[in-house]
Chains A and B, each alone.
Chain A
């Protein structure tokens, strides 16, 4: 049976918000008409931003490289359709402050023509694992569950570690979102293809697809598709947020926790999202880079909820317009799910690889209460899937007790928002945690900088002393040499019979210090 447990384990805490999946559950995936203009950000993944590698005016094919990865943990960016690069500009991003980032502005030519040289691997299901990884890497595939970690890294188990089990995450525990559910219903066979390729890359024999039981259609479709592949099984999980969080899902399925600071591979598992499996298939079978994704456009504030297949770089406004626009009284437009998504201040922000949804929320759907004092009810402790003490963490962050944040394990917080969801005082706990994490990082940065300065200063002093010692030594040597010469001269004057002493010229060199 392997490491997959026979029964499901309940992870600690969690919440069950109103699902609202019925708004878009029955909407089949439709293609968004090609937008007039795409803003393709150079930074759509965890890791270093990509470097743009196209000049303004360049004609590009769909799938052509426009941003080169910058370092190991990075991902290339490709043109989402064929057209003309108008320029590399700063454009508003999916950030609540309206922060801008460099984007390639692409004017589509309407042909949507793939680059002619793109091709997949021959015999992908038996291909060399490294060839698969390379293909996945070149194609810019990142985790589509939202974390956007470059996928090829999670297909490369480190030396000495074995992935005994591949978990395919179809949990989609965020309320409202239905994009993964629709993908599983409509593209189950393709997802299985992707899984087989992943299993080959990982050299893993067993795979489990985890789906929450509020998606019976997806479970049925995946079970049917998995029938012929005997090492892939589908598990139905009771609904509980945040079950789709990697570490929580692992605990549910294998009854083991990933030790703090370690990766899933350390307990023998790898977790990939269903949509990532599909992207891997496209990359390995056809060589098609990741340039579009399915986005759920929903919420009580949208005229016509839908699941749209969208080119990366499409402004949020285009999706909303396609779905009939916003209703009156919309207070918030959230990119992502309601628990972890980002509220947009500017609807020109583009869809990126990690965008799973766009929610238009009315006042009655969303939080608006002012913050009240903590009454220490302990609900946040009960809800926290990491068993943290959120009220104490927030209190320390709020009062800038940055040195105490480590003791309450702030860095282990996954920012799922369960604590804030149950807080009767409406304390924006996650906001305090984000602040605390940044403050900790800033403090560490300052400390590291001070340490580096100290080290450099010490090295400089050591160098100065070494130089001084060297000078002394040379002086001494010259003095000895001149004395010896004088002596030799005196001796030769005194009498030719006495043999000259050898002059000590080759002393062992003093320890050099020349960094």
Chain B
């Protein structure tokens, strides 16, 4: 063994084995149960939406690598994760071209133009969702009722594909026929008309908490199954991919004001469990706000960030112009991350005042 072949890098010489692909893969695994549930509940079209957004992200990433004459960065798996995260809050019958535009926007504008993974300011999937929401408001808020795969209402594989592929570029009639409000949308609309929460969600709308928690409600393809998303989140916590700081503080940021307002006027403000199990609060808290690149690194900063996300979510849901505010809340807080990090650095060893 000649000594010239010995490597002489700086210490440490051992490594824990964690890598970016491992992190991304773990998050994808944590999302899959809820994604599968989305396909079960809404039919094949949901699967096609996921596949198309993911493909769009991966292809855009590779193309951009080629344009910049860089080695492929597909190996870090972050593009695939962005694609899946983008699909989760979409309506289950989103037209294919919206999926493609969304995926392309997420990678190109949301990530690569900032310099690629690690340099983006906003969560790519969320910034793309916000972009789609303001660009295609009709398609993005047309929610089909659940049509479970094995039920009578289910579309066949081909019909599901047709829903996505043949969707016209103008305001679609097909979607109109299927459209109905999500619980959050229903609540905002009815309450603004002067009805109580009970009138809005009960009666013909027929909201019940168990269906909401299980995912059997109108809504996006992957956000609705609160229970499975929560399970995925707990899996990420156990795997130490994320820490409790952001999810718990974000949930608290939404639920604490929800409790206070519900207590003061339950006819006007729905109960906290309604907020917890509808819309994207859980996927937002465990999967979106916890995006490492776009959230603070310091524990205190993560709590501030989470509380801000939660609070803004409640504000937008209750008084904002959109029925759902998770995406906007997180994107707004993303912009505050450098500032939060700057002022929340931990007190280092030997600098604590009590020890001086």
A residues in contact (CB < 8 Å) with B = 12, 15, 17-18, 96-97, 175, 247-248, 251, 256-262, 325-326, 328, 330-334, 336, 338-347, 359, 361, 365-369, 372-379, 381-382, 385-389, 391-392, 408-409, 412, 415, 417, 420-426, 428, 430-431, 434
Asked if A430 contacts B12 (CB within 8 A), the reply is: yes
B69 at the interface (CB under 8 A from A): no
* Chain B interface residues (CB < 8 Å from chain A): 1, 3, 6-16, 18-20, 22-23, 76, 116-119, 243, 292-293, 295-299, 302, 341, 345-352, 355-356
> Please, how many angstroms separate the alpha-carbon atoms of A328 and B16 in the complex?
24
How many angstroms between the C-alpha atoms of A420 and B356 in the bound complex?
30
Q: How far in angstroms is the closest Cβ of chain B from A175? A: 7
**Alpha-carbon distance A343/B14, docked complex (angstroms):** 12
Contacts of A328 in B (CB 8 A): 1
B118 near A381 with CB under 8 A, answer: no
Determine how close the nearest CB of chain A comes to the CB of B179; give it in whole angstroms.
Answer: 39
Other 9 A-B pairs with CB < 8 A, given A339-B12, A347-B3, A378-B298:
A96-B10, A257-B349, A259-B351, A260-B351, A332-B6, A343-B11, A376-B297, A378-B297, A428-B9
CA distance A434 to B14 in the complex (A): 18
What distance in Å separates the Cβ of B1 from its nearest Cβ neighbour in chain A?
Answer: 5
- Within 8 Å by CB of A381, from B9, B295, B297, B355, lies B297
Q: Which residues of A contact B20 (CB under 8 A)?
A: 372, 375, 424-425
The answer to whether A434 and B10 touch (CB under 8 A), given A326-B1, A424-B22, is yes
A423–B6 CA distance with the chains assembled, in angstroms: 24
A345–B3 contact, CB under 8 A?
yes
Name the B residues within 8 Å of A392 (CB-CB).
Answer: 297, 341
Check B295 against A376 for contact (C-beta < 8 Å): yes
- Nearest A residue to B12 by beta-carbon distance? A417
Chain B residues lying within 8 Å of A339, measured Cβ to Cβ, are: 11-14
Quick one: which of B7, B14, B296 has the most chain A CB within 10 A? Answer: B14
> In the assembly, what is the distance between CA of A123 and CA of B117, in Å?
68
Cβ-defined partner of A389 (8 Å) among B243, B292, B302, B346 = B346
**In the bound complex, do residue B299 and residue A15 qualify as a contact, i.e. CB atoms below 8 Å apart?**
no
Query: A422–B16 contact, CB under 8 A?
Result: yes
CB distance from A177 to the nearest CB of B (A): 13
User: Are A361 and B11 in touch, CB under 8 angstroms?
Assistant: no
The residue from A257, A369, A373 contacting B350, defined by CB atoms under 8 A apart: A257
A428 to B15, CA, bound (A): 11
Q: A386 vs B16: C-alpha distance in the bound complex, in angstroms?
A: 19
Query: Among A330, A361, A372, A376, which residue has its beta carbon within 8 angstroms of that of B293?
Result: A376
Do A421 and B119 contact each other (CB < 8 Å), given the known contacts A257-B355, A332-B7, A428-B9? no
Q: Contacts A375-B117, A378-B297, A389-B297 known; A430 to B11 CB distance under 8 Å? A: yes
CB distance from B298 to the nearest CB of A (A): 6
CB-based contact A387/B293 at 8 Å: no
B9 contacts A256, CB within 8 Å?
no
* Distance between B76 CB and nearest chain A CB, rounded to angstroms: 7
Task: Select from chain B the residue with minimum beta-carbon distance to A340.
Answer: B11
Given contacts A332-B7, A376-B293, A387-B346, contact A421 B118 (CB under 8 A): no
Identify the 4 closest CB pairs spanning chains A and B, nearest first: A417-B12, A373-B118, A431-B10, A260-B350
Chain B residues lying within 8 Å of A365, measured Cβ to Cβ, are: 13-14
**Residues of chain A within 8 A of B292, CB atoms compared:** 375-378
Among A262, A346, A366, A434, which residue has its beta carbon within 8 angstroms of that of B13?
Answer: A366
| 26 A-B contacts (beta carbon < 8 Å) | A247-B350, A258-B350, A262-B350, A326-B1, A330-B1, A331-B7, A332-B8, A339-B11, A340-B12, A344-B8, A345-B8, A367-B15, A369-B19, A374-B118, A376-B118, A376-B297, A377-B23, A378-B243, A381-B298, A381-B346, A388-B348, A389-B298, A389-B346, A392-B341, A409-B351, A420-B15
